[in-house]
Copies of this chain bind each other. A is one copy, B any other.
Amino acid sequence: MNIRRLADHLNISIGTVSRALNNRPGVHPETLEKVLKAATELGYVANQSGRSLRRGATNTIGFVIETGHPAHQAGDQFFYVVLDAMNLYLAEQRYDLVVLPCHSADDPVEFLSRVIARGIVDALVMTATRRVDHRIAQLAKSKLPFMTLGRSETPGNYSWIDLDFEGVARRSVQEVVKLGHRRIAVGLPDNDVALGYHYKAGYLKGLAEAGIAVDESLIIRVPTSEVGGFSLGKQVAGMADQPTALLLCSEVTAAGVYAAFGETGVEAGRDISIVAFRENPLMRFLNPAPACFRLDLDALGTRLGETVLDLLSPDEEISRRRGEIVPLSFVPGKSLQPPRAGS
């Protein structure tokens, strides 16, 4: 079923049919209705290849994920919920969403080259943004509009949305300091993901505000995963001069930390206060419940959709690239206690 068959069936020209379906002006209300009716009856939907070829646009947004990269995939529904909300918004705006999984073993630059050249999407949402990110330079050179989830230090004309990792870290320090902690450890990712730098910056700022000297031995880098968290927990538990608080920039590491504590007899809250990153369903099963930060994933997904479609707006003002930082709200937890008298 193509537009010609539909037009023949109605005894009108394909031009009129096309105009009707795209509700362009200048088509008689009566014919408009006839066309729409026949289209739904015959189940006609415009072929995407023909349409994109002619219009030079595909009405599709690409969401690029790194399938081998553990940081953004581990252990919860972050992406599913965000995708869900984003997809919903895009569908309202008559856009389609495709997820483009970039294999971890692949060269991401080569992967993007293909995506760009094939002209399969009108714009891209990038994830797992690195502090220096070659993909950004590449996309900036191409003319494909894009945005990133997570900012980067690589310059380029693009929009971004980032979680307020710095604010979260700073607030975490404030909360533990308020309870009397002075020896505050932090677990950071061991790779170049941008969030690690912002989290560390907030941590340092918090310490400075509290007049606490930085102890490099309390800044510990581990993979962002349960296993990484386990290693982190073991390390902390085994330190001679144990910290009294531990801040985490990822929720999946929290599970590992708790497991390691369980094996070493350290008790979260009593021995070491814990502040995890994002609140998620899994945390209901950690005992004592870790203090953490709440993020509205639905709102984030919608905002991603809005931002990426803004890039495509013909209105110069709207399509201008901009950055946005999403705040998170503090959620208290039993893992947060004053340091023991002995410490």
Could you tell me which A residues sit within 8 Å of B by CB distance?
Answer: 1, 43-50, 52-53, 58, 60, 67-68, 73-77, 80-81, 83-84, 87-88, 91, 96-101, 103-106, 113-114, 117-120, 225-227, 230, 255-256, 258-259, 262, 281-282, 284-285, 287
Contacts and interface: CB of A to CB of B under 8 A. Distances in A.
B91 A43 contact: no
Copies in the complex: 2
A262 B289 CA distance: 13
A73 B77 contact: yes
Contacts of A103: 84, 87-88, 91
Contacts of A80: 67, 73
A75 B45 contact: no
A230 B285 CA distance: 9
A246 to B, nearest CB: 17
A184 B73 CA distance: 35
Given A91-B106, A106-B91, A119-B48, A227 B73 contact: no
A114 B282 contact: no
A101 to B, nearest CB: 5
A190 to B, nearest CB: 17
Given A46-B118, A49-B49, A87-B103, 5 more contacts: A43-B117, A60-B120, A73-B80, A87-B101, A226-B285
A280 to B, nearest CB: 9
B118 A48 contact: yes
Contacts of A99: 98-101
A114 B45 contact: yes
